[in-house]
Amino acid sequence: MAYTVKQLAKLSGVSVRTLHYYDEIGLLKPAYNGENNYRYYEQAQLLLLQQILFYRELGFQLNDIQNILTSDSFDKIEALQSHKNILSQNLDRTQNLIKTIDKTIAHLRGNVKMKDQEFYYGFESEKQQQYEKDLVDKGFVSKDLMEEYKKKTRQWSQQDKEYFFKEANEINQALIVAMQNNLKPASPAVQTIIRRHHTWVGWQPTKEQYIGLSELYQTPEFRKFYEQLHPQLLSFIVDAMKIFAEQELS
């Protein structure tokens, strides 16, 4: 069955204007144009739009999505399996947090008795103070700059904090997807993700500082964190960070 732009917009929830734009930039071309000059989309285009929406959900930019989808190594089934794996990881964490909420409500109502450590079940465990100390001790960032950064973060709202962790998760998942699509650390799509990581760090590290940060990532605590997400993620992000530092920073 073929769909017009309006029909596909209604089916997918993507606006007509966006579908027109995807056509203009070559990201999603219609199967054909009818004699009435209407665009018509068939199942191949519907599946391609699904892939675009999955990658958008994971935080990819349109030009990066286009590079991935037009790559010779792109495989639809492998990509879907990758999306499934990432969504499963996020679902597991969300379900754990929901369990903590439900149990805490029951605790506050006096229905159950929680152990103190159970209040934090499902949250990411971070040794933030040690991390900050290492950055200063190893000369990756000055003490004054670190204090300024800490002062800024102490003023964060809950929304700011949630955005920070959401951004970190999206960056890591985007890198995992890039690896699963056989992209190299030096590829434009990966380097775009690393630029986003460099911004996310928060204190705009210089070339030497960013390389130093990549070395800090190879310590046991960070290694454990990254290898839990994906066995090759640590070496991949380290290589990509060093390339970004050499090419983009001074």
Q: Three-state SS for 119?
A: helix
182: number of CA atoms within 13 Å, CB side?
8
CA torsion, ordered 213, 215, 217, 220, to nearest 10 deg: -140
What does the pLDDT look like over 52-77, one tens digit per residue?
988 887 777 888 888 888 888 788 78
Concatenate the DSSP letters of all residues of 6-39 into one string.
HHHHHHHS--HHHHHHHHHTTSS--SEE-TT--E
- Ordered DSSP codes for 168-214: HHHHHHHHHHHHHTT--TTSHHHHHHHHHHHHHHSS---HHHHHHHH
For residue 244, the surrounding DSSP H or E stretch is helix 233-248
Rounded to 5°, the CA angle 155-156-157 comes to 120
- How far apart are alpha carbons 39 and 20 in whole angstroms? 9
Per-residue pLDDT reduced to its tens digit, 79-127: 778 777 777 766 666 777 677 777 777 777 888 786 655 654 655 444 4
What band does 179 get if pLDDT is binned at 50, 70 and 90? very high
The pLDDT score that the predictor gives to residue 115 is 66
Q: Which of residues 137 and 92 earns the better pLDDT score?
A: 137
The per-residue pLDDT for range 119-133, each reduced to its tens digit, is 546 554 444 566 667
pTM of the model: 0.50
Over range 7-36, report the average pLDDT: 92
187 vs 129, higher pLDDT: 187
| pLDDT confidence of residue 121 | 60
In the structure encoding, which two tokens stand for residue 16, read together? 């007509």
Say yes or no to pLDDT of 159 above 70. Answer: yes
Residues 6+ apart with CB under 8 A from 245: 207, 208, 210, 211, 214
Identify the structural domains of the chain with CATH numbers, from first to last. Answer: 3-57 (1.10.1660.10), 126-248 (no CATH)
